[in-house]
Structure 1
Amino acid sequence: MTAILDQLRTAPRNVLSRLPLPGVTGDDDDVRRPLPVSGMLAAVWTLGVGLAVLTTFTLVGWIASPRGAFSSGLPGVFRTAAQLWLVAHHAGFSISGGVIGLLPLGLTLLPAFLLYRAGIWMARDADLRLRMPARLPKNSPKDEANARRRAQLVLVGQAGISLAAPYALLAGVIALITDNEVTRPFLGETLLSHLLLAFVAGALATARVIGPWRAMLRLLPERLRAVLLSSAAALGIMLVAGTVLVTAALVANFSQVRALSEILAPGFVGGLLLLLIQVLYLPNAIVWGMAYTAGPGFAVGAGTLVAPTGVQLGVVPSLPILGALPDAGPTPAWVMVVVALPFAAGAVAGVLSVRIAPSPTYEGAPLWGFACGLVTGAVAGALSALSGGSLGGARLTVVGPAAWEVMLSVTLEVGVAAGISAGLANWWLIFRGQNTAVARAAEKVGTATAPVRKAGVKIAKAAGSVASKVGLAEPDELGKLPGHWLDATECDTQEIPVIRDDWQDEHASAAAESPVKPADREPPRPPRRDIVDESDDKGGHVIYLDPYAWDRD
């Protein structure tokens, strides 16, 4: 009986461990699914959870909406939820009056988050952390590291394809099911958008499972990593500037936003849904703010323009968030200061690129800095294209920034500033490196000659002590006299006794007095003027010292 109760108690856990649910892993590590199978299960899980979430919100709106909003009843609710799921991947559709392409970027966060979580589960379920090439080159550690890096990049790409391919096929099936006379999704955009989003999310999730972000970034070549990180920094600065600009506009024109909300009178539930829609369109507004700082600005209908140089508006849609638009007419002169923000972002990007991967030459750094501008401009243009679009026909066919204008402006502004700052930063690194090398060489030379100087000092002290013991000099005078007589100055030299003019050789006079025959006597020697006479009064002895005898030896 106890065994049966234990089996009943652990049965739910065992069943859950066998189910292919992301986030739930079993205890049996020997049974692992192939990567394509794990990718298929992850795609199905993402699609099911996403549709369930959107169906819930759509059902709430159907309940709160007046009769007739969903003419088909519950089937219309499910069809609308499926269409919203396609819209979340930025797949447009056509209506009887035109094309709907202005889609909320904030809604894309839902499938992106679900795909990321599903990608993590897929990588763990397929044990991608342990999948390495069976044969690595046995040459050098560098070759082995390069082979391992290439294998990890290939593995990340395979995981992204394993998740993206079935996910795009399922999205194509949903697009065909939701096609009707009123709304017709674009099948090509549906397949492409789902494929790209799933591939990026799956690749990032797999890279995160294999190792930490910093280690995964090192899989890329150093120069490519420097360009990508510096471009991301520049784009992030510009998006932050756009966020600040949109927030300031909403605060300054909050009264107009509230007036538009009161005119619509959506009610409590409708007001919450309207607020949710505006929050989802907030990333679009941030990209528009970035385009505003870049210079080209954006349009809210055909023949309109909102830019630092001036504002020209017509009739705008009655969406409360559009109440934050500035008034038509010329803008104040101080508004042109925002145009300097892309240049500041480019300067930061140039310095960052040099810090990550400095160039050994003066000419290379500015070129790589301008490459950062090219990447930043391309991404800014893509975001501008995604944030804008058409809202039907007539005047609202053009809404948002012009992608090619934003791309060209950001490329030139960020690229030029990044090139200049990268060149200066790289020059400073080379200059400082040269000075450091010179200082180190001088330090090495000083370190090498230090023992010689110390030995010379010790020898001088030893010679002075020996001289003081012998009696050649007094101890007090040893510290005053230099080590060599040539180094002595006039004030350091001792007074030399004067040579006496009446000096005579005493030995010669003694020989003259002795009884030696003149023939045997030596001829008298001439007096020497180079002998110093020092008389000793105590003993009666005469000491002759020749100070220049060393020069004749």
Structure 2
Amino acid sequence: MKLRADQTGNRGLPMPLWLQGALETAQAAIISALVVVAPIVAVWATAGFQNGQFEVLARLAGQSWLLVHGVPLGLAGAGPEAATHGGSGTLSLIPLGLTLIPFLLAWRAGRRLARASYTDQLWQALLGSWLVYAAFGAATGFVCRTADVIINLWYALLIPLIPYAVGMVIGARREAGSWSRLIGVDAVDWISRTSQHSRWAGSYFASVAKAGFVAVMSALTLAAALLAIDLFIHWNLVVSVYEALDAGPVGGAALTVAQLGFLPNLVVFALAWTSGAGFAMGAGSQVGPLATAVGPLPSIPVLAAIPSGPLDYALVALVVPVLAGVMAGWWFLREGENHFDEWLAIKIHARWFTASASTLVLAVLAGLGAGVLTAGLAWIARGSAGLGRLTAIGPDPLWTGLWVAAEVGIGVVIGYAAGPWLEREKGSTAERDAELVH
């Protein structure tokens, strides 16, 4: 990172970093608000609201902006009915696809601020930007709360900072090139002063953590593919719900945008389904490959694609996390950082035992990492619609994490054990191709 005069290229005095951070954040807050306001204005323009007063629509836009950032909204009118079903009357189901908008805006702002800062001065820009975003969230919560929609001002002040601060820090790190450079620490010098065993242990655990990440990303990719196939198979049911709603072009477009906002949530739901843990679509319901039992659902087109009834080959879906573990085990083998296996082989001269023990330890650690990450994703993706039975939507984080951890662990053993054979096969293919060329 290096200091620039300012972002416009002027040769005058440089803009104070805290002010530049504040301006970048104000721009991001306004853009994210406009993205939320646009579909509301479009629906209003087609007389889609019973109450089209300006202040009502403005509060609705502010409440939507807070929900996109993860702020739970208390629905006072839903309280008694929700309480009957054990719920809290709180709208907390976050459209993660729309949450990506402030995240990406923060990522861009973080990169710009990192380019304009010395390493030991970046905190000034970050502090200025976070204070402005927190103030924007608190002001929005204060203005948009009503008797029917209860907003905790502390939540409105602090929770929007989470996706924004994470995006900004990741963007600054992308510009800096490393975490150590981002915080002004010479990592190479610090690592050089540690022992060789410490460096090996650090490399091993870092690679295991990356293997767990590879497993989760692979599982999410496969789950997204299964979700796309499911939507394709049930496309006629989805279209039928659209036709029954008869929302018109603008209303249909707004409904589609809202469903796309929940697409990442649905991918996490699909991952929970393939793991065997399943997910809930209302209090007392369960959707999974082992059993499916749901009550009446709201008329939302994408919900028509939920599998129902007995599924003959549903258990085959349980192989998805296992395949993700196979990919992680193979990746770890190619990474070549299994220093625990090397250390164990030096201590115990029985290769059959050390190879088995180190592979099992790898499977447990990588599976644990994948399980913890999956549990976190399940916790973020689940929530409550605040109405009736729909106070429990999404997977159970604990059970989903445990299922994924066990299945990824099994896959890691298979992938790491089969890795040398796969590498030899690839090497033999490359040799045959080279011979054909010559």
Question: Which residue is equivalent to 1:81?
Answer: 61
One-letter amino acid of the counterpart of residue 335, structure 1: A
One-letter amino acid of the counterpart of residue 340, structure 1: V
**8 Å CA contact retained: 2:43, 2:49:** no
2:102 is the alignment partner of 1:104: no
Q: What is the rounded CA distance, in whole Å, between the counterparts of 2:392 and 2:49 in structure 1?
A: 33
Trace 1:482-493 onto structure 2 (pairs within 5 A): none
Return closer, same or farther for 1:41/1:200 CA change in 2, 3 Å cut-off: same
Alpha-carbon deviation of 1:370?
A: 2.4
Alpha-carbon deviation of 1:273?
A: 0.9
2:31 is the alignment partner of 1:31: no
Q: What is the rounded CA distance, in whole Å, between the counterparts of 2:154 and 2:378 in structure 1?
A: 20
> Which stretch shifts more, 264-273 or 352-361?
352-361
2:375 is the alignment partner of 1:381: yes
TM-score computed with the length of structure 1 as normaliser: 0.62
Alpha-carbon deviation of 1:232?
A: 2.2
Q: What is the rounded CA distance, in whole Å, between the counterparts of 1:428 and 1:206 in structure 2?
A: 38
Q: Secondary structure at the match of 1:383?
A: helix
Q: What is the rounded CA distance, in whole Å, between the counterparts of 2:331 and 2:32 in structure 1?
A: 39
Q: Deviations over 1:315-373 (max 9, x none)?
A: 11110111111223x321x2211101111211221232343322223455543442222
Alpha-carbon deviation of 1:233?
A: 1.4
Q: Deviations over 1:383-413 (max 9, x none)?
A: 2122221122331111111111101111222
Question: Which residue is equivalent to 1:399?
Answer: 393
One-letter amino acid of the counterpart of residue 166, structure 2: V
One-letter amino acid of the counterpart of residue 104, structure 1: P
Q: What is the rounded CA distance, in whole Å, between the counterparts of 1:67 and 1:30 in structure 2?
A: 50
Trace 1:309-328 onto structure 2 (pairs within 5 A): 309-328=290-309
- Segments of structure 2 that go 5 or more residues without pairing to the other structure are 79-88, 189-201, 344-353, 424-438
Alpha-carbon deviation of 1:167?
A: 2.1
**8 Å CA contact retained: 1:366, 1:423:** no
Q: Deviations over 1:143-187 (max 9, x none)?
A: xxxxxxxxxxxx888866664454234312321221111212244
Question: Highest relative contact order (Cα 8 Å, sep 6+), 1 or 2?
Answer: 2
Return closer, same or farther for 1:352/1:102 CA change in 2, 3 Å cut-off: same
Q: Deviations over 1:464-515 (max 9, x none)?
A: xxxxxxxxxxxxxxxxxxxxxxxxxxxxxxxxxxxxxxxxxxxxxxxxxxxx
Identical counterparts, % of pairs = 27
Which of 263, 268, 273 lines up with 2:249 in the alignment?
Answer: 268
One-letter amino acid of the counterpart of residue 402, structure 1: D
Question: Which residue is equivalent to 2:34?
Answer: 52
Q: What is the rounded CA distance, in whole Å, between the counterparts of 2:402 and 2:135 in structure 1?
A: 35
Higher Cα radius of gyration: 1
Q: What is the rounded CA distance, in whole Å, between the counterparts of 1:342 and 1:204 in structure 2?
A: 28
Trace 1:526-537 onto structure 2 (pairs within 5 A): none
One-letter amino acid of the counterpart of residue 83, structure 1: Q
- Segments of structure 1 that go 5 or more residues without pairing to the other structure are 1-16, 133-154, 430-553
Q: What is the rounded CA distance, in whole Å, between the counterparts of 2:45 and 2:15 in structure 1?
A: 45
2:109 is the alignment partner of 1:118: yes
Which of 322, 335, 349 lines up with 1:343 in the alignment?
Answer: 322
Q: What is the rounded CA distance, in whole Å, between the counterparts of 1:75 and 1:331 in structure 2?
A: 49
Q: Secondary structure at the match of 2:74?
A: strand
Alpha-carbon deviation of 1:306?
A: 1.3
Q: What is the rounded CA distance, in whole Å, between the counterparts of 2:321 and 2:300 in structure 1?
A: 29
Question: Which residue is equivalent to 1:491?
Answer: none
Q: What is the rounded CA distance, in whole Å, between the counterparts of 2:415 and 2:33 in structure 1?
A: 48
One-letter amino acid of the counterpart of residue 40, structure 1: A
Alpha-carbon deviation of 1:422?
A: 4.4
Alpha-carbon deviation of 1:277?
A: 1.4
Q: CA RMSD in A?
A: 3.2
Alpha-carbon deviation of 1:219?
A: 6.3
Return closer, same or farther for 1:264/1:307 CA change in 2, 3 Å cut-off: same
Return closer, same or farther for 1:380/1:191 CA change in 2, 3 Å cut-off: farther
Question: Which residue is equivalent to 2:161?
Answer: 195
**8 Å CA contact retained: 1:239, 1:287:** yes
Which of 391, 399, 409 lines up with 1:415 in the alignment?
Answer: 409
Q: Secondary structure at the match of 2:411?
A: helix
Q: Secondary structure at the match of 1:391?
A: coil
Q: Secondary structure at the match of 2:208?
A: helix
Q: Deviations over 1:434-489 (max 9, x none)?
A: xxxxxxxxxxxxxxxxxxxxxxxxxxxxxxxxxxxxxxxxxxxxxxxxxxxxxxxx
**8 Å CA contact retained: 2:289, 2:315:** yes
Q: Secondary structure at the match of 2:95?
A: coil
Q: What is the rounded CA distance, in whole Å, between the counterparts of 1:285 and 1:108 in structure 2?
A: 14
**8 Å CA contact retained: 1:106, 1:279:** yes
Alpha-carbon deviation of 1:281?
A: 1.8
Trace 1:235-250 onto structure 2 (pairs within 5 A): 235-250=216-231
Alpha-carbon deviation of 1:290?
A: 0.5
Question: Which residue is equivalent to 2:47?
Answer: 65
Q: What is the rounded CA distance, in whole Å, between the counterparts of 2:153 and 2:421 in structure 1?
A: 52
Q: What is the rounded CA distance, in whole Å, between the counterparts of 2:268 and 2:397 in structure 1?
A: 11
Q: Deviations over 1:224-252 (max 9, x none)?
A: 54234322211111111211221111111
Return closer, same or farther for 1:80/1:393 CA change in 2, 3 Å cut-off: closer
What is the number of equivalent residue pairs in this alignment?
378
Q: What is the rounded CA distance, in whole Å, between the counterparts of 2:328 and 2:49 in structure 1?
A: 55
Which of 227, 235, 242 lines up with 1:254 in the alignment?
Answer: 235
Return closer, same or farther for 1:101/1:344 CA change in 2, 3 Å cut-off: same
Question: Which residue is equivalent to 1:226?
Answer: 207
Question: Which residue is equivalent to 2:436?
Answer: none
Q: Secondary structure at the match of 1:397?
A: coil
2:23 is the alignment partner of 1:41: yes
Return closer, same or farther for 1:261/1:123 CA change in 2, 3 Å cut-off: same
Alpha-carbon deviation of 1:294?
A: 0.7
Bigger fraction of residues in helix: 2
One-letter amino acid of the counterpart of residue 207, structure 1: R
**8 Å CA contact retained: 2:73, 2:92:** yes
**8 Å CA contact retained: 1:164, 1:202:** no
Q: Deviations over 1:102-160 (max 9, x none)?
A: 2321111111111111112222232x3xx37xxxxxxxxxxxxxxxxxxxxxx888866
TM-score computed with the length of structure 2 as normaliser: 0.77
